[in-house]
Amino acid sequence: MTLTIQEWHNRFISQAHWTQSLRNYLFQIVRIEKCKQVLEVGCGSGAILRELPQFTQANIFGVDINLGFLQLAMRNIPDAHLLHADAYHLPLPPQSFDLTFCHFLLLWLTDPYKAITEMIRVTRPGGYLCILAEPDYGGRIDFPDELSILGQKQTIALRKQGANPEIGRSIRGLLTNAGLTNVVSGVLGGQWEPSFDVNEWISEWKVLEADLAEDQVFQDIKEKQKAQDKIAWAGGTRILFVPTFYGWGVIPD
C-alpha cells in the first residue's frame, strides 16, 4: 500500500498546521518581511511555501527530490522558483538567501549534517537557517495504553525505511557543530482540541497503514486498534504526542 501524491499533500498540510504557531513566531524573529530571497529545502508539494506571500514579498525558492511533489507544488504556487535536486547538492550559488529552512526533512536523510552545511553554504552571512520541525519518536506518548503498540510499530517501520525517528534530539548539536551562532532550539508543545477532526484522523491512519503494510502482527490487530483509536479520539481521551524539535541559528561572517 502506498499513498497517492494527493494523500501525501494532505499529510503535508496537516503537518504544516501542527507547526503554524511556531512559524508565525519565527518569521517575526528573522524579519521575513525584509527578506529578498527565501529557500525551503525539501519543499514537498508546497504546503508551507504557499503561505509565504502572506509574510513576505521575497523571491520564493523550493527544492525537492520528488518530482511528483514538485509538479503539484508548481500548480499550488506557480510564482515560486522550484528545483528538482537533493539536499546534499543544492543547484544554487553561495550566499544567495536571507532565510533557508526545512520542515520534517532531516529524519529522512542519512547525513543530516551534510545537508545542513549545504544549506549554510547558500545562505548569506547574517542570514538564518531554521529547522522548523523534526520528530523524536523516542519520547512518543500514546494513551490509552492499549494503543501504545501503534507508536512502537511505526517507529520500527520508520527505521526500516531508512529514517531516523529520534533525529529531534540531535537538532541543537547539529546546528552548533555546523558553526551557526545564536543557536536556539526547543520542543513544540501539545494541545488537544475538544473537536475530533475525522479527516486528519483518516490521513494519519493512511500513513500508518502504508508504513505497516507488511507487518503481519499489525495486520492482525489493525481493525481492533483502529476502532479503539477512533473511539478514544471521539471520546476526548486520546493522547498522541511525538516530541517535535525545532532550532535556528545565524550564519556567521
Radius of gyration of the chain (CA): 18
**Amino acid identity at 199:** N
Residue 174: predicted pLDDT: 98
Whole-number Å distance between alpha carbons of 43 and 53:
15
Q: Contact at 8 Å (CB) between 226 and 205?
A: yes
Give the single-character DSSP code of 172.
H
Residues in a beta bridge with 86: none
What phi, psi does 183 have (nearest 5°)?
-70, 130
Whole-number Å distance between alpha carbons of 148 and 141:
7
Q: Which three cell numbers stand for residue 99?
A: 532565510
SS3 content of the chain, % helix, strand, coil (to 5): 45, 20, 30
Question: DSSP 3-state assignment of 160?
Answer: helix
**Amino acid identity at 16:** A
CATH code of 189's domain: 3.40.50.150
Angle subtended at Cα 218 by Cα 199 and Cα 194, rounded to the nearest 5 degrees? 30
Question: DSSP 3-state assignment of 102?
Answer: strand
How many Cα atoms are found within 13 Å in the side-chain-facing hemisphere of 167?
A: 26
Calculate the CA dihedral of residues 165, 49, 102, 58 and round it to 10 degrees. Answer: -170
Overall number of domains in the chain? 1
Q: Contact at 8 Å (CB) between 42 and 64?
A: yes
Whole-number Å distance between alpha carbons of 14 and 157:
21
Residue 76: predicted pLDDT: 87
50 to 8, 31, 161, 178: CA distances (angstroms): 16, 18, 28, 29
30 to 19, 95, 147, 157: CA distances (angstroms): 16, 16, 40, 36
Q: Contact at 8 Å (CB) between 200 and 16?
A: no
Grouped pLDDT means (10 residues each) for the chain, 253 residues: 86 92 92 97 96 96 97 93 97 98 97 98 98 96 96 94 96 98 95 88 91 91 96 95 97 95
Identify the domain containing residue 77 by its residue range: 5-250
Q: Exposed e or buried b for every residue in 31-47, given b needs 16+ CB within 10 A?
A: ebeebebbbbbbbbbbb
